[in-house]
Structure 1
Amino acid sequence: MPAVQNVLVVGAGAAGTATAILLAEAGVAVDLVDTKPDVSALGSGITLQGNALRILRQLGVWDEVRQHGFAFTTLGLRAPDAAGTPLAEIDDIRTGGPDLPATMGMYRPELARILVDRAVDAGAKLRLGTIPASLEQDEDGVEVRFADGSRGRYDLVVGADGVRSWTRHELGILLETCKTGMGIWRVFAPRPASVTRTDLFYGGPCFIAGYCPTGEDSLYAYLVEAAQNRSTLAPQQSLEVMRELAAAYHGPWDEIRKSMTDATRVNYTWFEAHFLEAPWNRGRVVLIGDAAHTCPPTIAQGAAQALEDAAVLYDVLTRADALTEEMWSEFHARRVERARAVVEASLQLGQWLLNHEQGDVSGLIGRISHLLAEPA
Structure 2
Amino acid sequence: MPPARTVLVVGGGTSGNALAVLLRRAGIEVDLVEVSPDWNVHGSGITLQGNALRVLREVGVWERVREEGFGFDALGLTAPDGTVLHVAEGLRTGGEDLPATVGMPRPQLQRVLADAVRAAGVRVRLGCTVEALEQDGDGVTVRLTDGTTGRYDLVAAADGLNSATRAAIGIPDRPVPTGMGIWRVTAPRPRGVVRTDLAYGGPAYIAGYCPTGEDSLYAYLVEPGRDRAALPPESRVEEVRRLAAGYGGHWKQIRESVTDASQVNYTWFHRLLVEGPWHRGRVVLVGDAAHVCPPTLAQGAAMSLEDALVLAELLTTHDTWDDVLLTRYRERRMPRVRMVVENSVQLGRWLLDGVRDADAPGLIGRTMAALRERP
The TM-score bracket by the shorter chain reads over 0.9
Change in CA separation of 1:347 and 1:371 when aligned onto 2, cut-off 3 Å: same
Q: Does the 8 Å CA contact 1:2/1:318 hold for their aligned counterparts?
A: no
Aligned residues: 374
In the alignment, is residue 340 of structure 1 matched against residue 341 of structure 2?
no
Q: Which amino acid aligns with 1:143?
A: T
Write out aligned runs for 1:311-350 (5 A).
311-350=309-348
Q: Is the 8 A contact 1:13 1:161 kept in 2?
A: yes
1:23 equivalenced with 2:23 (yes/no) = yes
Gaps of at least 5 residues in structure 2 are none
Give the aligned partner of residue 139 of structure 2: 141
- 1:59, 1:156 → 2: CA distance? 20
Contact 2:284–2:326 (CA under 8 A) maintained in structure 1: no
Tell me the TM-score normalized by structure 1. 0.97
2:38 aligned with 1:38, yes or no?
yes
Change (3 A) 1:185 1:103: same
Instruction: Tell me which moved more, 209-218 or 360-369.
Output: 360-369
Query: Quick one: distance in 2 between partners of 1:370 and 1:80?
Result: 28
Matches within 5 A, 1:151-230: 151-230=149-228
Q: After TM superposition, give the deviation of residue 2 of structure 1 in Å.
A: 11
Deviations 1:13-36 (A, max 9, x none): 111001100000001110011000
Deviation digits for residues 84-134 of structure 1, max 9, x if unmatched? 111111114100000000011010000001101101101101110001100
* Residue 270 (structure 2) pairs with residue 272 (structure 1): yes
**Deviation string, structure 1 residues 213-232 (Cα, Å, up to 9, x no partner):** 00001000000001111111
Q: 1:311 to 1:3 in 2, by over 3 A?
A: farther
What letter is aligned with 1:371? A
- What is the distance in 2 between the residues matched to 1:148 and 1:227? 37
Q: Distance in 1 between matches of 2:154 and 2:74?
A: 41
Map of 2:246 onto structure 1 = 248
Is the alpha carbon distance of 1:34 and 1:321 closer, same or farther for their aligned partners in structure 2, counting shifts above 3 Å? same
Q: Secondary structure at the match of 1:299?
A: coil
The range that moved more, 10-19 or 228-237, is 228-237
More displaced stretch, 289-298 vs 169-178: 169-178
Gaps of 5+ in 1: none
Q: Is the 8 A contact 2:72 2:101 kept in 1?
A: yes
Contact 1:76 1:90 in 2 (8 A): yes
The runs of at least 4 aligned residues of structure 1 exceeding 2 Å deviation read 1-4
Partner of 1:371 in structure 2? 370
2:284 and 2:119 map into 1 onto residues whose CA distance is 24
Query: Residue 257 of structure 2 aligns with which residue?
Result: 259
Q: SS state of the match for residue 277, structure 1?
A: coil
Counterpart of 1:341, as a letter, is: M
* SS state at 1:297 partner: coil
Q: Which residue of structure 2 aligns with residue 74 of structure 1? A: 74
Preserved contact between residue 3 and residue 318 of structure 1 (Cα < 8 Å): no
Length-normalised TM-score, structure 2: 0.98
Q: Tell me how far apart the structure 1 counterparts of residues 306 and 244 of structure 2 sit (CA, whole Å).
A: 35
Q: Measured at CA, do residues 28 and 18 of structure 1 come closer, stay the same or move farther in structure 2, by a change above 3 Å?
A: same
CA change 1:134–1:98 in 2 (3 A) is: same
Alpha-carbon shift at residue 196 of structure 1 (Å)? 0.5
Shift in CA distance, 40/80, structure 1 to aligned 2, threshold 3 Å: same
1:176, distance to aligned residue in structure 2 (A)? 2.7
Asked whether the 8 Å contact 1:50–1:95 carries over to 2, the reply is yes
Instruction: Verify the 8 A CA contact 1:2 1:322 in the aligned structure 2.
Output: no
CA positional deviation for 1:191: 0.5
Aligned-residue RMSD, C-alpha: 1.4
Contact 2:13/2:40 (CA < 8 Å) preserved in 1? no
Task: Tell me if structure 1 keeps the 8 A contact 2:278–2:327.
Answer: no
Share of identical aligned residues, percent? 57
